[in-house]
Structure 1
Amino acid sequence: MITLGILITDNGPAPLLEQHGNFADLFERLLNGSDVAFEYRHYSVIDGEFPASLDECQAWLITGSAHGVYDDLPWMASLKTLIRTLHEQHSPLVGICFGHQIIAEALGAQVEKFSGGWNLGIKAYQVSEQLPCFGNDGVSEPVTQFAISAIHQDQVLTVPQGARVFASAPRCANAGLVWGDHILTFQGHPEFYRQYEQDLLTADLGVAFPDEELQPALEGLAEDALDDRKVGQWIARFIQQGVAEK
């Protein structure tokens, strides 16, 4: 069993907590659907709670957040220091949405609001590199694309040194990044299953999503394929492989 430290950078919107749980709960749900066994430790880094020792966990995951990496809050500086240390030690690390962005920024990327606005709903990402964690799922054909939920304005605009882009979309060029065999990040949200994304987009979050993006997103949620479980399996395998290599 692998001990995974979930670095919580937001609990999630209050209106959704009772029904769906917080962001850490969503990741446990996702990874518990894989064929890798995990036990979890939670660290509320948004409240200044960090591991006393990196030996407390074998691998790490950084959640999404309503914050932007440019908000430059005190806990973000500590998180970036932790990211750089994990990178230097080649410790397995996964980042999702904000996690993807702050890892990239900590390692030299530029992260800003995308000039094209919001990305909402189920988005398809094209795969440009076959990663070992794909495992081909028992088939010989390579992975060419995957679809997961998205809700973001901010994006990683430049590729940091040492990273490779393995997934992209027309309106999100650097949607999936990998560093060696120890860091894997996604701009989209594999932990947001269909009903969660639906409830998120229709909740009163104090954000006015543009109709030209929101309406197609809501329609797509009823029709489009979603690869959340598949991507969850990739993440679990990546962590398992990284722990075995370390």
Structure 2
Amino acid sequence: MKIGILQTGHSPEDLFGPFGDYDGMFRDMLDGNSFEFQTWAVVDGVFPDSADDADAWLITGSKHGAYEDHAWIPPLETLIREINTRKQPLAGICFGHQIIAQALGGKVKKYEGGWAVGRVTYEVDGRELTLNAWHQDQVVALPEGARVLGGNDFCRNGILAYGDHIISWQPHPEFSSAFVGGLIEKRGRGVVPDGLLDRAAAELDAPVDNQDIATFLAEFYRKERT
């Protein structure tokens, strides 16, 4: 199976050396599943010819807002709608979660309640799932047909599904705790309140459920669909 990674942002330059770029984090996360990958850096205006260029798709996170005026956002939304029409498997993470919702008729905005940074716990089907988060924007109005699979009091629309072919997460299962530590120091200071950053830094050694999502996502891509 060929998975097309639609890269909507780049890792901070001063973290690129030790951690690589966002597409590489997903390749590492899904390693060992016999997937083939190809990246299109849509944030740089590089797009596939059509949804036929891959069997399944993944949209990364980004420093940009889905509602911002960038030339690459409208064609990305068109591609998302094409993928949805074809019922191809599609996963979105953080910005990917938001742009899928926006492309299909939902609404994304900067949340008045502020930031979520570091370890965050979500309620999913009666169990708790803890993942690293890094966001202020949220999906605040759902598209028609979207189902809420998980969330919490801060982010009620934290995990969404559409049919059996689209799944999206607001948090970052691809982010290691070490990378989050780098974000705290290199991107967070002066932007995110220090109290939130200090709490997140104090919890960097605590476990997260990244592997559970990696397993789920691999099974989601391989699932038989009619």
TM-score by length of 1: 0.88
CA distance in structure 1 between the aligned counterparts of 2:175 and 2:187, rounded to whole angstroms: 17
SS, match of residue 221 in structure 2: helix
| Aligned equivalent of 2:62, options 56, 60, 65 | 65
Residue type of the alignment partner of 1:42: T
Aligned-residue sequence identity (percent) comes to: 40
Secondary structure class of the residue paired with 1:171: coil
Query: Structure 1 residue aligned with 2:74, among 73, 77, 82?
Result: 77
- Per-residue CA deviations over 1:190-214 (Å, capped at 9, x if unaligned) read 0001111111111256742202211
Secondary structure at the counterpart of residue 204 of structure 2: helix
- Aligned to 1:50, the other structure's residue is in SS state coil
Q: Is the aligned partner of 1:32 residue 2:31? A: yes
Maintained 8 Å contact 2:148/2:158: yes
Equivalent AA in structure 1 for residue 143 of structure 2: P
Matched residue type, 1:94: A
Q: Aligned partners of 2:84, 2:169: CA distance in 1, in Å?
A: 17
Q: How does 1:163-242 map to 2 (within 5 A)?
A: 163-204=146-187, 207-223=190-206, 225-241=207-223
- 2:51–2:82: 8 Å Cα contact kept in structure 1? no
**Offset, 1:54:** 2.1
Task: State which of 83, 86, 89 in structure 1 corresponds to 2:83.
Answer: 86
Deviation digits for residues 83-104 of structure 1 (CA, Å, limit 9, x no counterpart): 0111111010000000000000
Aligned residues: 226
CA-atom RMSD in angstroms = 1.4
Higher helix share: 1
Which of 119, 125, 128 is the aligned partner of 1:145? 128
SS in 2 for 1:4: strand
| Structure 1: runs of 5 or more not aligned | 129-142
- Could you state the TM-score of these two structures normalised by the residue count of structure 2? 0.96
* Counterpart pick for 2:43 among 43, 46, 49: 46
CA contact 2:51–2:79 (8 Å) conserved in 1: no
Find the residue that maps to 2:133 and give its secondary structure. Answer: strand
Structure 2 residues not aligned, in runs of 5+? none
* CA distance, structure 1, for counterparts of residue 107 and residue 165 of structure 2: 21
CA shift at 1:168, angstroms?
A: 0.3
Query: Are positions 1:125 and 2:114 aligned together?
Result: no
Matched to 2:63, the amino acid is A
Offset, 1:55: 2.1
Three-state SS of the structure 2 residue aligned to 1:84 is: helix
Cα distance in structure 1, aligned partners of 2:189 and 2:198: 17
Aligned to 2:144: 161
2:11 match: 12
1:78-117 to structure 2, matched below 5 A, reads 78-117=75-114
Q: Deviations over 1:27-78 (max 9, x none)?
A: 0111115xx3211001011111111132221000000000001112111000
Q: Does 1:56 align with 2:53?
A: yes
Runs of 4+ aligned residues of structure 1 deviating over 2 Å after TM superposition are 204-208
Task: Measure how far apart 1:157 and its partner are.
Answer: 0.6
Distance 2:96 2:54 in 1: 18
Please give the alpha-carbon distance, in whole angstroms, between the structure 2 residues aligned to 1:7 and 1:69: 14
Whole-angstrom CA distance in 2 between matches of 1:56 and 1:39: 12
Q: CA deviation at 1:11?
A: 1.5
Amino acid at match of 1:176: I
The structure showing larger relative contact order (alpha-carbon pairs under 8 Å, at least 6 residues apart) is 1
